[in-house]
């Protein structure tokens, strides 16, 4: 249950304002959402993620170099309006086009579509990439009807890395849709989330029950069942995901265990032991029969619901070109530890397991100057914030 709020009607607006103030060195608030604090020096494709509030770090927490250029933020579990999407796009556009990317929900499709028409009428190149990774929401034959959930993260990351490297609008869109085609997610829920000021959760489960396949807004899942041990839960999640391994995906995996807001990291670590062992089986009864080669694995609150206890396991069967995008350097607020001052923000800018091809060496002179100024770490040069082949 959400307990820290003033007027429940103002919760989403105040949360966004507080986020932008805390991370003022990285983002700035604009009507309808937020964009990067610094505009690009050269025109680049603007990747704009969007959706309702209540899912932090989605969507504003993913703004940053190597990820999103901006986020369109609606009210709690409510699609942003077309005006909000239009306003954020105008603030983020640098002349190379705009791509909206979001989960496949009717309100989002309608409102982002209307904003796209308005932008196109003004001569701005615009595209939309929908995320449809939730295998519990529709059968494989109707995959276009599936919801977008924690798989948002991989799609946004790959598109953001491509745009940061200078890819054109068509290439960014192509890579985003390819990433979506290769991403599968399934979730489990232990109790429902409660809106600020609400007296009851969206749904309830018995203390010893679990719902399999529920959506991030409380949408119906596959079934309710007795809460299993972590080992059995991990086996169930992995089996269902690998049963839908996309054709031609190979055996390279990137896995996200998403706590959805209230499942603790320690619990995810326990679950991870089973997930890793299942994915690394040399022979399995599922369609992915070879040992997994890990591209990357995360345990994180990638797309949470407020105060909801649950887990989501996203399995991306990655091809090598997409791996470079997925593991490239990024500096969103999600990965920043900020020590706030009034005029400056010192951030420990971390990367998503920055691989060797993204590492750069800070010149000796720059390191010396940094120490003389009394800083605790050197500032990476410009190339270190972007992916290079």
Q: What are the structural domains of the chain?
A: 8-181 (3.40.50.10440)
**What confidence score (pLDDT) does residue 388 get?**
29
Say whether 254 sits in a helix, a strand or coil.
strand
- 142 pLDDT above the threshold of 60: yes
- 383 pLDDT above the threshold of 70: no
- 216 pLDDT above the threshold of 70: yes
More confident residue, 17 or 371: 17
On whether the CB atoms of residues 52 and 79 are closer than 8 A, the answer is yes
Q: What is the pLDDT confidence band of residue 91, given thresholds at 50, 70 and 90? A: very high
**What confidence score (pLDDT) does residue 336 get?**
60
Q: What is the pLDDT confidence band of residue 131, given thresholds at 50, 70 and 90? A: very high
**What confidence score (pLDDT) does residue 375 get?**
44
Distance of CA 202 to the CA centre of its chain: 23
Flag whether the pTM goes above 0.85: no
pLDDT, tens digit (0-9, with 9 covering 90-100), for 8-22 = 889 999 999 999 999
pLDDT, tens digit (0-9, with 9 covering 90-100), for 305-361 = 443 344 556 655 555 557 667 767 677 776 664 444 443 333 334 344 444 434 444
Evaluate the omega torsion of the peptide bond into residue 223 and state whether it is cis, within 30 degrees of 0: no
Please list the active-site residues: 217
**What confidence score (pLDDT) does residue 246 get?**
83
CB 170: neighbour CB atoms within 10 A?
A: 13
Vertex 234 angle, CA 1 and 211, to 5°: 40
Q: Where are the alpha helices (DSSP H) in the chain?
A: 11-22, 82-92, 106-121, 152-164, 169-181, 230-242, 265-279, 320-326, 364-372
**Residues pairing with 205 in the sheet:** none
- Phi first, then psi, for residue 193 (nearest 5°) are -90, 155
- CA neighbours closer than 13 Å in the CB half-sphere of residue 269: 3
Q: For the chain, report the end-to-end CA distance as a whole number of angstroms.
A: 46
């Amino acid at each position: 249950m959400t307990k820290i709020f003033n007027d429940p009607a103002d919760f989403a607006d105040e949360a966004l304002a507080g986020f932008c103030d805390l991370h003022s060195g990285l983002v700035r608030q604009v009507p309808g959402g937020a964009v990067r604090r610094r505009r690009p020096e050269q025109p680049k494709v603007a990747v704009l993620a969007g959706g309702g509030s209540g899912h932090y770090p989605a969507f504003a927490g993913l703004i940053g170099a190597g990820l999103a250029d901006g986020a369109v933020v609606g009210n709690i579990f409510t699609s942003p309006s077309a005006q909000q999407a239009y306003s954020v796009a105008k603030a983020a556009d640098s002349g190379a086009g705009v791509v909206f990317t979001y989960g496949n929900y009717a309100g989002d499709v309608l409102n982002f579509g209307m904003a796209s028409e308005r932008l196109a009428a003004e001569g701005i190149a615009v595209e939309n990439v929908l995320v449809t990774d939730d295998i519990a929401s529709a059968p494989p034959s109707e995959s276009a009807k599936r919801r977008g959930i924690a798989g948002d993260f991989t799609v946004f990351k790959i598109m953001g890395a491509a745009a940061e490297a200078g890819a054109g609008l068509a290439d960014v869109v192509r890579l985003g849709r390819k990433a979506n085609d290769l991403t599968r997610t399934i979730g489990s829920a232990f109790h429902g989330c409660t809106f600020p000021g609400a007296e009851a959760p969206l749904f309830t489960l018995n203390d010893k029950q679990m719902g399999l396949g529920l959506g991030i807004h409380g949408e119906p899942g596959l079934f309710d069942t007795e809460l299993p041990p972590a080992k059995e839960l991990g086996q169930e999640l992995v089996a269902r995901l690998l049963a839908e391994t996309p054709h031609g995906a190979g055996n390279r995996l990137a896995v996200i265990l998403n706590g959805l807001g209230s499942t603790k990291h320690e619990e995810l670590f326990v679950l991870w032991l089973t997930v890793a062992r299942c994915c690394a089986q040399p022979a399995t009864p599922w369609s992915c029969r070879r040992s997994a080669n890990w591209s990357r694995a995360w345990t994180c609150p990638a797309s949470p619901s407020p105060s909801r206890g649950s887990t989501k396991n996203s399995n991306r069967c990655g091809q090598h070109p997409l791996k470079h995008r997925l593991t490239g350097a990024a500096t969103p607020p999600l990965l920043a530890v900020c020590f706030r001052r009034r005029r400056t923000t010192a951030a420990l800018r971390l990367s998503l397991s920055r691989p060797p091809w993204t590492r750069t060496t800070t010149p000796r002179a720059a390191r010396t100057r940094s120490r003389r100024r009394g800083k605790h770490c050197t500032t990476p040069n410009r190339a270190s914030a972007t992916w290079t082949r």
